[in-house]
Structure 1
Amino acid sequence: MPADIADPLLHVLRIRGRATPESLAAALDSTPERVGAALLILESTGLAENTGKPRLGWKITPDGTASAEKRMTQISPSAQATVADRYETFRTLNDELKQLCANWQSRAETQGPADFVAPLSVVDKEVQQLLAEITPGAPHFAEYSARFTRALDQFASGSDSHLTGVLVDSYHNIWFECHECFYITLGRSRHAEEAP
Structure 2
Amino acid sequence: MLDPYELTVHSLTLRQLGTAEQLADITGQDVAEVEAGLEKAVAAGFVMAARGSYLITPAGREHLDGVYPRAFEGLRADPQVTAAMEAFETGVNKQVLALTTDWQTIEVDGARVTNDHGDADYDAKIIDKLGRVHEKTAKVLRPLADADPLVDRFLDRIGTALTRAEGGETDYVSGVRVDSVHTVWFQMHEHILRLTGRERPE
Is 1:60 paired with 2:59? Answer: no
How far, CA to CA, are the matches of 1:161 and 1:146 in structure 2? Answer: 18
Q: Deviations over 1:44-86 (max 9, x none)?
A: 44376452324xx11235456358635752334553x222211
Q: TM-score, normalised by structure 2?
A: 0.73
Select 1:109's aligned residue among 118, 128, 133: 118
How far, CA to CA, are the matches of 2:188 and 2:195 in structure 1? Answer: 10
1:149 Cα deviation from its structure 2 partner: 1.4
Select 1:146's aligned residue among 156, 162, 179: 156
1:153 Cα deviation from its structure 2 partner: 1.3
How far, CA to CA, are the matches of 1:10 and 1:160 in structure 2? Answer: 31
How far, CA to CA, are the matches of 1:29 and 1:155 in structure 2? Answer: 23
1:5 Cα deviation from its structure 2 partner: 7.1
C-alpha contact 1:72 1:184 (8 A) present in aligned 2:
no
Matches within 5 A, 1:169-188: 169-188=179-198
1:172 Cα deviation from its structure 2 partner: 0.8
Q: Deviations over 1:149-196 (max 9, x none)?
A: 111111111111111111111111111122222322222222xx31xx
How far, CA to CA, are the matches of 1:153 and 1:29 in structure 2? Answer: 20
The runs of 5 or more residues in structure 2 that have no matched partner are 106-114
1:97 Cα deviation from its structure 2 partner: 0.9
Look up the match of 2:108.
none
Task: Please tell me the root mean square deviation across aligned C-alpha atoms, in Å.
Answer: 3.0
Aligned AA (2:136): E
Q: Secondary structure at the match of 1:135?
A: helix
How far, CA to CA, are the matches of 2:179 and 2:28 in structure 1? Answer: 10
Quote the sequence identity (%). 24
Is 1:39 paired with 2:40? Answer: no
Aligned AA (1:174): V
The runs of 5 or more residues in structure 1 that have no matched partner are none
1:120 Cα deviation from its structure 2 partner: 0.9
C-alpha contact 1:71 1:140 (8 A) present in aligned 2:
no
C-alpha contact 1:73 1:186 (8 A) present in aligned 2:
yes
1:129 Cα deviation from its structure 2 partner: 1.4
How far, CA to CA, are the matches of 1:71 and 1:110 in structure 2? Answer: 50
Q: Secondary structure at the match of 2:55?
A: strand
C-alpha contact 2:76 2:196 (8 A) present in aligned 1:
no
Aligned AA (2:84): R
Matches within 5 A, 1:127-138: 127-138=137-148
C-alpha contact 1:163 1:171 (8 A) present in aligned 2:
yes
Q: TM-score, normalised by structure 1?
A: 0.74
The total of aligned residue pairs comes to 182
